[in-house]
Amino acid sequence: MLSAAANLIWFLLNGLVLGLAWWLWSLLAFISIIGIPWGRACFQMGRLAFFPFGRDAISRKELSQKSDVGTGVAGIVGNVIWFVFAGFWLAVLHLIWAIFNFLTIIGIPFGIQHLKLAGIAIAPIGKVVVKNDVAQAARKANAESHLNDLRK
């Protein structure tokens, strides 16, 4: 219930404009054809920007335990290109908005969401937006799998 209320406030004050901006960049990237990987990443970021409370972006490899193009070497190259041309600046903008939100007590939860978006804006290729409990379950399953491998 609290996440729904926070998401509604976020959507009205931040999310609508942020989400539409991310989706606009996604559309432009898809139109360019060579920008399709970045378009997919921008679409995922837009989904998170609309309603960030109760959601997280995790690696598709971490979620499915399978590698794909976006989680392999091509994804790393794509994220480096993204960081140089857009990711750094988008992260800085989210950090600035986080600082403004942290100036008031009521803005702290919104500042935390901007920090989450800043972290994801740095390297969004190969990530998917899921609910927090799904992300936690995937991370726990991966940790247990890794622990079992270490014990062998």
Which residue in 92, 76, 52, 65 sits closest to 124, CA to CA? 76
Q: What is the three-class DSSP state of 67?
A: coil
pLDDT tens sequence across 118-131: 999 999 999 999 99
pTM to 2 decimal places: 0.86
pLDDT tens sequence across 5-39: 999 999 999 899 999 999 999 999 999 988 898 99
Residue 74: Cβ within 10 Å count: 14
Residue 5: Cβ within 10 Å count: 10
Domain boundaries, the chain: 2-151
Place of tokens 């959507």: 11
